[in-house]
Each structure stands twice: as structure tokens, then as C-alpha cells.
Structure 1
Amino acid sequence: MNGKIILAILVAISGAVGYVFYTSSQSEWNEISEPEPVVEPAAPAAPEPEPEPPKPEPEPEPEPQPEPEPEPEEPVEEESEPVAKPEPQLVQAPDKLAGSDSKVQQAVTDLAQRLVRWVTLPEQIRKWVLTVDLMASEKIPYKHSPIKYDKDPFLVLPTGDETYVADSGNYSRWNDIVGVVADIPVQDAARYYREWSPLLEKAYDELGKQGSFHERFMVMLDEMRSVSEPPVGATLIRPHIFYQYADPELEAASPLTKWMWRLGPDNMLELQDFARNLSAELKYR
């Protein structure tokens, strides 16, 4: 029990006892005289204890916020392997050499359309096989050429008594045909070569030579690649109809080499690059 309440009870009890004692003693005195009763003030009641202030109710704990739902992850697209584009259809090689020119023209049109205007008919396959065989021997076909390419006359500049030097403008005469050949996609050229190889081998067999056309073709590409830089500004003479090099060593070069020199440095390099790339394509694929 609280201490203040106990104290109040004790005070009240002591007051009551005092009051009884006082009244009993007064009754004895009343027999002698009856004085005015003196009423003593009652002992003040003990103040009621102040109620304890109510304990503050604990604030309700905040309800936990619901955890946010994870945002759905965007599906990661798996990297798929690149799909190889289908190779374009080739003009199919005919089964035999006879009557094959129409197919050859279609194939040339597909491979290098601008080349068609210079193609000579008939017997295209046989002419190409003969040309390759001659070039593999470092020669140039002056007859039965598969190409007829019209160009401006060869120009020279006089440098002295019956000596000349080639006009540098001669090189541009070959720009058109060299540009067409250099623009042929090497992969497409290699695909056509493989597709038409059986027919090319048949035409080569007709020449009655040993080996295969493919061997001669690869030798031709190597010969073209091995030609050295052209001798720019070399002195020319004209003992007969055609001009020739005054230097015997230059004049002793093979017909294939001298023909490539006449193309000019830039055209020759373009043609050599094409030969190099085609050779690599045929060797490693």
C-alpha cells in the first residue's frame, strides 16, 4: 500500500481515539456543571493522494511497410550465332563444251557485267583455257584471245636521234578493263572457278598437255604476281614496226612481263593484288 494512504489512516484513527477519550472525560465534568461544549475542530482530513498520472500508453509500433515487389527483370535475349547469308546462285556450267557460249555470257554477266562487251565469240571456254596456258608460260595470246579490248594508239615522245620514251598517258588506256577485273569479288570468282572446273579441265585435255588446268591456272597467277616494277622512263627504239627497249636486258623480259609493264605502275599493282587474293582464296578454301 502506498505510504501516503497509510499515514492518512493513522491520523484518522488517532483523531477518533482522541475524540472518544475527550467525550468520556466530559461526561464526568457534566455532573458538576454544564459548560458550553467546546467543539474542537476535527483534525483535517489528510489530503487524498493525487492519483498517479496514467502511464502513457506506448505508441503503437508502426506496421511494417510491405516490401516492394521486385520489378520483373527484362528477359535477356540470348545472343544467337550470326546466320550466314545464303550464297547467291551461280549460273550452272553446261555439261559439254559444244554450245556453251550462251552459258558463258550469262556467267560473265553475273560476275562482271561490264566485261561482257569485250568478250569474243565463239568458243569462249577454249579461248580462256588457251590464254591461261600461254600466260603460265609467260606468253601473251595474239590470236584466239577471249577478249577484244579497243584502246588508243601507243604514244611516244622523242628524246633524241631515233630514241623515244613512252608517254605516261599510255597507262590510262588500260584503266577501264583493269578496273573491271579488279572489281570482281574474289569469293565469287573462286566459286565460279570451282563450279566450272570440270568443263575447263575438258578443254585443257583437248590441248593434249600433261598436268591439269588447275595447275596451269595457279602457275599463271604466280607469274603475274612475280612481275617486277615497270621501268618508268626507259629509252625505246624502233628498228621495225614495233617499239622495243634499247636496254637488251629489259627487252629480254618475257612477253607477259612487258605487257604488264605497259599497263603502268598503278594498273599493274591492281591486277597483281587481284591475282594474289584469288590465289589465296583457291588455296585455303
Structure 2
Amino acid sequence: MVGRPRPVADVPVFLPTFIVGARVWPAAGGLRAGLFWAPLCDMAFPKGPPKPSSALTFWLAVAAAAVALLLLWGWQAGMLNQAGNFVKGLFSPAQFDSYKRAGGAEETSRAVQEADDARRRTEQERKAAEDRAAAERNEAEDQADAEKEAAQKAAEEKAAAEKAEADRLAAELAAIEETARKEAEAAAGRGTEAGAQPDAGRKKPRLKRAPLNASEAAINREIARSFPLAQVRKYFNLQEQARRTVITVDNLSREHVPSQMRVARGVPGLLRVKKEGDTITLDEANYARYAPIIGYVEKLNVTKLARLYAKFYPLLQHTYENTGFPGERFQDRMLAAIDDMLAAPRVNGPIRLVQPKVLYRFESDKLENLSAGQKIMIRVGPENAARLRRVLARLRGAIAAQDPDLQDEP
């Protein structure tokens, strides 16, 4: 049966078969070629090998160029040897098995290499983590040591400051007592000289004491003789003077002075504080609220004030005993209250506060547990406290120099 010639368009489809078959076609009678290639060539070219044509030549040239480029690329990429082994494996089962074993060994080697790399990376990461942990631990230890040293240094400085403060207060009290002793000796010397005069046999007049039932008006008139009453009334309460004085003095060295029975009026304005987050500190601008009353007290004549105290001392003593202290001297209580205020600690730096409910209190338990008089010395500020200490020291010397139970008229 004669068929039509195969179209040139079908040639590329059978090109690989043609190339291989063309080489083995002459040996188609051989055993190997007869078993494999002859049937394949008969199926691909049932009418015999195709006739050479211009189109076939073109495609053969393209195929040759492609093969050349492929071989060049394989040579450059180092894959030519592997490709040859693969092709050999197609014809030799033993070679194919060897190729498979080599590929498996290569894969195994690659897996082992990757496992080794992963193990090395893990080991490096673990060592780096250990180094970081050790560095952080050393840094924390160094910081703890620094904080411990700082705390120890602060404690030593605080102890030294407290000792210096105690020594200073002791020196101040000793100076006050020495001044009082000298004034008492001077007063006794003046009395001795007066006794040697011709009228020494005449009894010296005593200080005229106010009666125990002296009215507020009488007390205010006596105050007005020594101090301008309008200015006194501006800073002090002039109602129930004796009772207010006794209750205030008695509670200055205690925890709290009842606000309704205080001698001094409250300072104007509200307590001023600074708030930064959860931290509350006493605003230094708050100290200016106390400046007017302390300035007025500084100008008072301490001698006149001590004389006024001595004149009304029987009334103060009587009120003190009726308040709940029978048999005790109000003079001793007065000096103890002044000494307690003089012994108030000096606070440097911001004073921290807390606000549990409505009122503020000192954050430090040491400051919060101070007496009412010592808290006053803290609230007024360092400068005002120093001014107030000088006034209290002079007042104590003037009061301690006289015996209020027996005082002569000067």
C-alpha cells in the first residue's frame, strides 16, 4: 500500500526518533537493533526514512545548535559528567544503579552537612545565650553591689548627720542653760547689792499678779500695754487666752494640738504640693505662708513677753491643774515644749507626702511620728525654722531665768 509522503510539519515530532533511528537503521538486522530499534523505526517511519529536504535540514541545524548550547552550558555548570552518567545509566542498569547510589550518597552527605550546620548554629546560639545571660547576671550583681554601697554610704552619712545634729542641739541647749544661769546669777547679785543699801530692811515689792478669775477683757488690756492689740489679734486668738495657752503648750510635745483650742490662728491659703505621677512632695512655695507670722514673732520683745507670762502665771497654773494635771508645774511643761521644738530634726531635700484619704501626711514614718511642735518646725521650711529657733531660744532663756512662783517687780 502506497501512502502519501509524511508532511514536513510532522517531522519535529519524530525528530529524536529519527536521529537515533538514522544511526542504527543500517544495523537494523542485528539482534539488539532488531529487538528495540527496528520496531520503533517501523512505527515512526512506516514508509521508510524521510527524504532530506530544506525544512528538515533547517530543523537539524537548529537541533544541532541547541545540543551544542546545552553541552556548553552543562560543561560550564559542571553537569556534563552527571548528564553523561545519566545517559549511560539508560543503557547500563549497573551504571544506573551506581548513579542512583551516588545521588543517594550525595543527598545523604548534603543532609548530614545540613544537620551539622544546624547543630553548629544551635550550639552557637546556645553559647551566645549563655554569654548574654552571664553578662546580664554580672551586670545585675554589679548594680546590686553599687546599690548596696550607695545605701551603706547613705546610712553612714545619715548617721553622721544625725550625730552632728544631736551635738548641735546639745550645744544650743547648753548655751541656753548657761545664759539662763548667768542671768539668774546676775539677778541674784543685784538683789545682794540692794540688800546692802540703807533701805535693805524694807521688803521689796512683789510683781502684782492677775487674779485667778481675770476676764478676757482684763487680759487683753494687759496685753495691749506691751504689744499693739490689733497686730496680736491678727495672728493669735484672744478668746479664752489662759485655756488656749495651757492646751496648746501641753499638746505641742504630743501627737496633735486640737485646732479649736490653738493659740495661733491658721495661716492663710491652702497647703501647696507638687505631684509627679504617684509622687507627692511638699511645695517649697508653701513655706511663704508662714513668713508673716514668723516675722511678727521675731519682732516681739521677749522680756515683755516673759514678764506678761509671769504676771498671769498663777492663772495659767490654776488652769493647767484644772485641765487634768494637779500638782504639776506649768512652768516645767512650758520649758519642755520649747525644748521639744528646738530638738526638731532638720530635713534637707524634698519632703514626700501621701494622701490616704483627704488630708496629707508625711510618707516617712519617722517624720509622721514626730510631735506636733516638731512637725510645725518641718512644715514652715528650713529658713523659717531657723528664725523660729532663735526666737524660742531667747524666750526659753527669759522664762527659765525667773521663778514664776515668786517674782519681784522690776
Give the Å deviation of 1:117.
2.5
- Which structure shows the higher helix fraction? 2
Matched position secondary structure for 1:158:
strand
Residues 119 and 148 in structure 1, CA contact (< 8 A), matched pair in contact too: yes
State the Cα distance separating 1:92 from its structure 2 match: 6.5
**Structure 1's 146 and 208: CA in aligned 2 closer, same or farther, altered over 3 A?**
same
Q: Pick the aligned partner of 2:220 from 105, 111, 117.
A: 105
Q: What are the residue-to-residue correspondences of 1:241-256 with 2, within 5 Å?
A: 241-256=358-373
Is 1:128 aligned with 2:245?
yes
**2:298 maps to which residue?**
182
Residue 172 of structure 1: CA displacement? 0.8
DSSP-derived class of the 2:349 partner: coil
| Deviation digits for residues 119-166 of structure 1 (CA, Å, limit 9, x no counterpart) | 4353211111111111143542322223323411011111222x2111
Change (3 A) 1:233 1:131: same
The 1-side partners of 2:280 and 2:218 are apart by 46
Aligned match of 2:282: 166
Please say if residues 253 and 373 of structure 2, whose CA atoms lie closer than 8 Å, have aligned partners that are also in contact. no
2:400 and 2:367 map into 1 onto residues whose CA distance is: 33
8 Å contact kept, 1:171–1:264: yes
* Match status 1:195 vs 2:319: no
Retained in 1: the 8 A contact 2:254–2:371?
no
Code of the residue aligned with 1:140 in structure 2: it is V
Structure-1-length-normalised TM-score: 0.62
Read off the aligned partner of 1:96 and give its amino acid letter. Answer: L
- Distance (Å, rounded) in 2 between the aligned partners of 1:229 and 1:111: 33
**1:231 Cα deviation after fit:** 4.4
Aligned length: 193
After superposing the two structures, state which structure 1 stretch, 243-252 or 170-179, moved more: 243-252
| Identity across the alignment (%) | 26
Contact 1:112 1:180 in 2 (8 A): no
Unpaired segments ≥5 residues, structure 2 = 1-206, 403-410
User: Given residue 261 of structure 2, which amino acid in structure 1 is its aligned partner?
Assistant: H
1:207 matches 2:361 = no
CA contact (8 A) 2:235 2:265 kept: yes
> Which residue of 1 is the match for residue 41 of structure 2?
none
Does the C-alpha gap of structure 1 residues 101 and 178 become closer, same or farther in structure 2, counting only changes over 3 Å?
A: same
Deviations 1:50-109 (A, max 9, x none): xxxxxxxxxxxxxxxxxxxxxxxxxxxxxxxxxxxxxxxxx97531335x2112222333
Q: Where does the alignment leave 5 or more consecutive residues of structure 1 unmatched?
A: 1-90
| Counterpart secondary structure, 2:281 | strand
Q: Matches of residues 55-134 of structure 1 in structure 2 within 5 Å?
A: 94-97=210-213, 100-113=215-228, 114-134=231-251
254, 265, 290: which one pairs with 1:148?
265
Larger CA Rg, structure 1 vs 2: 1
Deviation at 1:268, TM superposition (A): 1.3
Query: What letter matches 1:233 in structure 2?
Result: P
Q: CA RMSD in A?
A: 2.2
Distance 1:252 1:199, change over 3 A: closer
Q: Show the counterpart of 2:355.
A: 238
1:217 aligns with 2:217: no
Please identify runs of 4+ aligned residues in structure 1 that moved more than 6 A: none
Q: Which residue of 2 aligns with 1:60?
A: none
TM-score (norm 2): 0.44
Distance, in Å, in 1 between the alignment partners of 2:361 and 2:237 is 29
